[in-house]
Chains A and B, each alone.
Chain A
């Protein structure tokens, strides 16, 4: 297997009816086993990029390779290797956490003891083993986020893509989620992570890319980027220098 988990070559995407590209000629290599932060202001093109990487959105030009396989050609195989944690709580709120996880696991083809063990293991990992029978609608925001998170790793993907996984959760849940991501990364999962919490991204991500107006502005090792200029004191200062202070819609 190649050392590059994701290779993006000159991808562009313009939505129907829009004159401005949402993603504009981005080229990027994401090494295997990294914790990769995909950062940018609102409307920068992060979610579009994630949707393209997961094969959920067609793009106009360029090429995408996942684990060395071209996305369009080997999509069936590729999507088994990708886990997605959407920004919204992508769960059925009248099902319990266990029922939700069971549905997702069975749809990924898990069965029998393996299925049962994987669900229990996941609930245990996010501290919800005791609340697994509760319907999701009765959960707090943090609990929902945690179930949403483990729902993305039930099938043990090589690459986990998370779209703002800590939005709206309390400090405890956030800490737990970040520790969880560290843990699965240590086990070999490549993490691709978007967030508006730059401090959190700075702590978690060893590599980052900042995009704005659909264009890649900078990418590389987080620490090296921060040290590259005197005026850069933190990831937030890098971000503001590169994307400006103009409010975004």
Chain B
């Protein structure tokens, strides 16, 4: 135990006197989180909460036009604009402004739509109570059109969203009008003053929940993605100082000397694992603090870390162990710190790209989403997503923890195999 403590203290002193290593370990990831969260913020907002600029002309100025305007104004996704450059929009300017991308969508409610709808509704009611002696005659009316213009580059999903919203609104208005006229007609026939109100929001309501443990439901914001993502990346990047440490120790003969000391070889290896694991935990803590304390100062969302602190600690340790073991394996395979650093950094960057660190997995093509499940960085990130976004606890992260520990075990076996090979 005393030897382990001695070896740990030695590792800590060596590390704290390596300014370059400290910068790589602590400062670089914090800067990365900050920069990437800032850069990707608008992209995430587009995916998650983009508001569409909709040009709107209400020529109807009657119940249909007013109901559509009110309905769209209530939508979180839509910003309704009736003016541009302090001038009211007309049809010509609306088409031009949507065409040049100033607005993504243009909506025109032509004059007389309400009147036409009312006539058709009246016809339907009268038809229902038709007296054979006095047949109801359909009055010729203009078709009740609401005209939509789309920016050609707008995503299909946005078109569908607006189309659905408008359909819902117009169905509601139609139903409300028909129901009201029916109600009036029935009151008239029964000679009562009772009339029924119709709630256009419908009788069947939708109850919405976020499905816990569902991979596809979770769309994080920039902070919720970038903080854990770059923290995992940074944890794996400790392989650069770690491999340099191992290879230098081996090349300068210190490891020979250590191997001659009774019971010191394994102690030295384990002391490295303990120290670098501890460092990875501090790294993660610092990244969390950036997400909680610094990023909100720059207008970014606050990092939510969920309620499962124990699961978070387990997840950090599993990721840290995987990263440390990877560094240990590379340090035992390569002969120079330069080789190890070059291979190590490129491999981490590739695993990061595949694992959804740079670009979230949910925006990747399906084949890449499948490939991403083979990246240890993805296992780490998914585990943190589970805790931060899905409200998952220790059970929720078990698959990722198991994968990371298995990776750690494989790396350890590789490390000891190569250390033994080099002995011979």
Q: Are A95 and B261 in contact (CB under 8 A)?
A: no
B2, B13, B259: the one contacting A56 at CB < 8 Å is: B259
Per-position contact with B for A30-53: 1 when CB-CB < 8 Å, else 0?
000000000000000000000100
B2, B10, B251: the one contacting A88 at CB < 8 Å is: B251
Q: Which residues of B contact A88 (CB under 8 A)?
A: 251-253
Q: Are A94 and B260 in contact (CB under 8 A)?
A: no
- Tell whether A107 pairs with B7 under 8 Å between CB atoms, given A16-B424, A56-B423: yes
Q: Which residues of B contact A173 (CB under 8 A)?
A: none
For residue B3, CB closer than 8 A to chain A, the reply is yes
With both beta carbons as reference points, the residue of chain A lying nearest to B424 in the complex is identified as A58
| B231 CB, nearest partner CB in chain A, Å | 27
Q: Which residues of B contact A82 (CB under 8 A)?
A: 260
Q: Are B256 and A106 in contact (CB under 8 A)?
A: no
For residue B73, CB closer than 8 A to chain A, the reply is no
Per-position contact with A for B203-246: 1 when CB-CB < 8 Å, else 0?
00000000000000000000000000000000000000000000
Q: Which residues of B contact A58 (CB under 8 A)?
A: 423-424
| A90 CB, nearest partner CB in chain B, Å | 3
Binding site secondary structure of chain A: loop
For residue A69, CB closer than 8 A to chain B, the reply is no
Q: Which residues of A contact B258 (CB under 8 A)?
A: 107
Complex Cα distance A58/B259, Å? Answer: 13
Q: Are B13 and A99 in contact (CB under 8 A)?
A: yes
| A215 CB, nearest partner CB in chain B, Å | 21
| A116 CB, nearest partner CB in chain B, Å | 14
A88-114 CB contacts (< 8 Å) to partner B: 88-92, 94-95, 99, 103-104, 106-109, 111
Complex Cα distance A177/B7, Å? Answer: 29
B10, B253, B260, B421: the one contacting A103 at CB < 8 Å is: B10
Q: Are A107 and B423 in contact (CB under 8 A)?
A: no
Q: Which residues of A contact B260 (CB under 8 A)?
A: 54-56, 79, 82, 84
- Tell whether A57 pairs with B424 under 8 Å between CB atoms, given A79-B261, A107-B3: yes
- Tell whether A91 pairs with B262 under 8 Å between CB atoms, given A56-B423, A84-B257: no
For residue A87, CB closer than 8 A to chain B, the reply is yes
Complex Cα distance A80/B256, Å? Answer: 14
For residue B370, CB closer than 8 A to chain A, the reply is no
Per-position contact with A for B42-60: 1 when CB-CB < 8 Å, else 0?
0000000000000000000
| B300 CB, nearest partner CB in chain A, Å | 38
For residue A86, CB closer than 8 A to chain B, the reply is yes
Q: Are B262 and A79 in contact (CB under 8 A)?
A: yes
Complex Cα distance A54/B262, Å? Answer: 12
Complex Cα distance A80/B17, Å? Answer: 31
- Tell whether A135 pairs with B17 under 8 Å between CB atoms, given A90-B256, A92-B254, A107-B7: yes
Please report the total number of B residues contacting A with Cβ < 8 Å: 26
With both beta carbons as reference points, the residue of chain B lying nearest to A103 in the complex is identified as B10
Complex Cα distance A111/B3, Å? Answer: 11
Binding site secondary structure of chain B: helix
For residue A151, CB closer than 8 A to chain B, the reply is yes
B244-281 CB contacts (< 8 Å) to partner A: 251-254, 256-264, 267
Complex Cα distance A15/B422, Å? Answer: 10
- Tell whether A92 pairs with B10 under 8 Å between CB atoms, given A57-B424, A104-B257: yes
Q: Which residues of A contact B263 (CB under 8 A)?
A: 76
| A48 CB, nearest partner CB in chain B, Å | 11
| A187 CB, nearest partner CB in chain B, Å | 21
| A104 CB, nearest partner CB in chain B, Å | 7
For residue B338, CB closer than 8 A to chain A, the reply is no
Q: Which residues of B contact A106 (CB under 8 A)?
A: 2-3, 6
Q: Which residues of B contact A80 (CB under 8 A)?
A: 262
For residue B165, CB closer than 8 A to chain A, the reply is no
| B153 CB, nearest partner CB in chain A, Å | 57
Please name 17 pairs of A and B residues whose Cβ atoms are closer than 8 Å in the assembled complex, sorted by A: A51-B256, A54-B260, A76-B262, A79-B262, A86-B253, A86-B257, A90-B256, A92-B10, A92-B14, A94-B17, A94-B18, A95-B10, A95-B14, A95-B17, A104-B261, A107-B258, A135-B17
What 10 pairs between A and B have smallest CB-CB spacing? A86-B253, A90-B253, A94-B17, A106-B6, A88-B253, A107-B261, A90-B254, A107-B264, A103-B10, A90-B257
Binding site for B on A (CB under 8 A): 15-16, 51, 54-58, 76, 79-80, 82, 84, 86-92, 94-95, 99, 103-104, 106-109, 111, 135, 151-152
20 further A-B contacts with Cβ under 8 Å, apart from A86-B256, A99-B13, are A16-B421, A16-B424, A56-B256, A56-B260, A57-B423, A58-B423, A76-B263, A79-B261, A82-B260, A84-B256, A84-B260, A86-B253, A87-B253, A88-B253, A94-B13, A95-B10, A95-B13, A106-B2, A107-B3, A107-B7
